[in-house]
């Protein structure tokens, strides 16, 4: 028995490593897509020979088209992901995203560029929505916020990657070359996912496919439930006709938290996309040259990567609600500080903290959301927050473009974004405690969904 337990632990670690690696790499290219456009906005504004004459309002619209696609992709993945499985959605959309990036690099008009940004965004949205659901079902209890942060740190890491490549290669390969780099997942990530990415045993169980779930669980070492004795009762609940997907989100149990979690994501993504699209241009208006402006973008995303991972450890220990609210608060303060004439070293620190409070906070939100929901509604819950949140992402670039087109100083933009961060902090404080926490009266770790509370399984008609 001891040997069997040890063998299962080895299998579980191996499976988890592959899931984390593949989903994180997929999200690296989400982050790459997020920022690569921001690095070329100045070029498109100043060189009409690229895709035509682009003004600031059009530039904001082009930045938002991708996010409209992301919203469509995320909501579509939520509608089908809880029915067709995590693995299929991941594979299809790695291909979709890669082809979209390649096609964007070939465009020669504003209309074609915008259309391809929208279509590429559909693949991005589906990947973002599915990754959180997948990791939540493979990561061990008590470490789920950390593993979600590890995976979703792929987003700021990809943003950092795009910033650095733009800094080093933009003069050599141009903006088209930068977009072609974004198509590379088709060459290496898709084959890796085909060979190494497993379906979730918990998802199979949630669909009533008990035999397949048990066989896969033994094969990859990932438990369906923490207590195997719950398997039969959990399956019987599933087969009894419980609501899953978006229908489950509309239940009395999840409706209010779903609205509030969506508003959190709206705030986080409005900050993320607004700053990543317009920070270089705003800092140019502050008098910094192009190299310094891209350096600020690198600093913003480095702060998100490092700060997000550190904050995720705190979220596992103290619960994500208070940590997310605190990081939103840090964003509020840091964005106001950026408007002062600070020494460069202090300014870089403030921008790094803003990175933690914006994109780093969004990483924490994805972890919070993924672990808040149970298996039967998890993909829909993550998709809702990713999709509705992208409305904020759409408004972020539009807002920045409108402010700049109106001749407003960069100071006004930073104050507006600080107000959004403050709103996010307040909304977070009103999110109800996790249902498993209430059911088990504190038996679960703060902010971590429980898979071993028998009463929660029976009383809530879920399998988690």
For residue 129, being part of any structural domain is answered with yes
Considering its fold, how many domains does the chain have in total? 1
DSSP output for 45-69: HH-TTTTS---HHHHHHHHHHHHHH
For residue 464, being part of any structural domain is answered with no
Residues 381 and 369: beta-carbon distance below 8 Å: yes
- In this prediction, residue 353 carries a pLDDT of 94
- Element of type H or E holding 352: helix 344-355
Please tell me the distance from the alpha carbon of residue 161 to that of residue 1, in angstroms, as a whole number. 46
Please tell me the distance from the alpha carbon of residue 30 to that of residue 346, in angstroms, as a whole number. 30
Please tell me the distance from the alpha carbon of residue 370 to that of residue 129, in angstroms, as a whole number. 9
Q: How far is CA 159 from CA 81, 166, 348, in A?
A: 26, 11, 17
Domain range for residue 440?
A: 2-458
Please tell me the distance from the alpha carbon of residue 317 to that of residue 60, in angstroms, as a whole number. 39
- In this prediction, residue 26 carries a pLDDT of 93
For residue 120, being part of any structural domain is answered with yes
Q: Which long-range contacts (CB under 8 A, 24 or more apart) does 98-103 make?
A: 98/123, 98/182, 98/183, 98/184, 98/185, 98/186, 98/190, 99/183, 99/186, 101/29, 101/33, 101/179, 101/180, 101/182, 101/183, 102/179, 102/180, 102/183, 102/186
For residue 168, being part of any structural domain is answered with yes
Domain harbouring 107, CATH code: 1.20.1250.20
- Spans of the chain, pLDDT less than 70: 1-6, 79, 81-82, 224-245, 290, 375, 408-410, 434-464
For residue 463, being part of any structural domain is answered with no
- In this prediction, residue 13 carries a pLDDT of 82
Please tell me the distance from the alpha carbon of residue 123 to that of residue 292, in angstroms, as a whole number. 32
For residue 224, being part of any structural domain is answered with yes
Q: What is the per-residue pLDDT across 219-266, written as a single tens digit (0 to 9) for each?
A: 887 776 543 333 443 444 444 445 666 777 877 778 888 899 999 999
Please tell me the distance from the alpha carbon of residue 352 to that of residue 339, in angstroms, as a whole number. 14
Please tell me the distance from the alpha carbon of residue 329 to that of residue 422, in angstroms, as a whole number. 6
- In this prediction, residue 40 carries a pLDDT of 86
- In this prediction, residue 225 carries a pLDDT of 58
For residue 222, being part of any structural domain is answered with yes
b/e burial code for range 203-218 (CB count within 10 A of at least 16 → b): bbbbbebbeebbebbe
């Amino acid at each position: 028995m001891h040997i069997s337990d040890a063998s299962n632990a080895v299998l579980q670690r191996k499976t988890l490593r592959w899931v984390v690696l593949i989903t994180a790499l997929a999200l690296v290219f989400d982050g790459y897509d997020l920022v690569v456009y921001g690095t070329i906005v100045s070029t498109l504004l100043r060189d009409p020979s690229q895709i035509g004459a682009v003004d600031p309002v059009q530039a904001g619209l082009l930045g938002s088209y991708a996010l409209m696609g992301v919203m469509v992709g995320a909501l579509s993945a939520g509608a089908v992901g809880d029915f067709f499985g995590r693995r299929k959605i991941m594979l299809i959309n790695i291909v979709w995203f890669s082809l979209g990036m390649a096609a964007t690099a070939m465009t020669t008009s504003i209309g074609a560029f915008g259309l391809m940004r929208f279509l590429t965004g559909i693949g991005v949205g589906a990947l973002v929505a599915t990754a959180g659901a997948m990791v939540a079902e493979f990561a061990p209890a008590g470490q789920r916020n950390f593993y979600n942060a590890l995976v979703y740190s792929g987003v700021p890491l990809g943003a950092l990657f795009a910033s650095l490549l733009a800094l080093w290669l933009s003069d050599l390969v141009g903006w088209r070359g930068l977009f072609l780099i974004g198509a590379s997942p088709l060459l290496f990530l898709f084959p890796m996912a085909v060979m190494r990415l497993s379906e979730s045993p918990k998802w199979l169980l949630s669909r009533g496919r008990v035999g397949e779930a048990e066989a896969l669980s033994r094969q990859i070492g990932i438990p369906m439930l923490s207590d195997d004795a719950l398997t039969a009762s959990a399956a019987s609940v599933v087969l009894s006709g419980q609501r899953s997907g978006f229908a489950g989100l509309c239940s009395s149990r999840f409706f209010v938290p779903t609205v509030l979690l969506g508003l959190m994501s709206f705030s986080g993504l409005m900050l993320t996309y607004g700053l990543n699209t317009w920070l270089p241009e705003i800092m140019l208006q502050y008098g910094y040259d192009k190299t310094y402006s891209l350096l600020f973008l690198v600093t913003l995303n480095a702060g998100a990567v490092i700060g997000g991972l550190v904050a995720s450890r705190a979220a596992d220990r103290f619960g994500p609600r208070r940590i997310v609210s605190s990081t939103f608060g840090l964003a509020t303060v840091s964005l106001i500080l950026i408007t002062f004439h600070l020494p460069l070293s202090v300014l870089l620190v403030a921008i790094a903290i803003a990175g933690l409070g914006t994109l780093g906070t969004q990483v924490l939100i994805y972890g919070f959301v993924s672990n808040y929901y149970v298996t039967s509604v998890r993909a829909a819950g993550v998709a809702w927050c990713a999709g509705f949140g992208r409305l904020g992402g759409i408004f972020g670039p539009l807002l920045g473009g409108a402010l700049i087109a109106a001749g407003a100083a960069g100071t006004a933009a930073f104050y507006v974004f600080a107000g959004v961060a403050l709103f996010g902090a307040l909304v977070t404080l009103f999110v109800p405690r996790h249902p498993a926490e209430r059911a088990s009266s504190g038996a679960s770790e703060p902010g971590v969904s429980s898979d071993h509370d028998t009463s929660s399984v029976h009383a809530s008609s879920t399998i988690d």
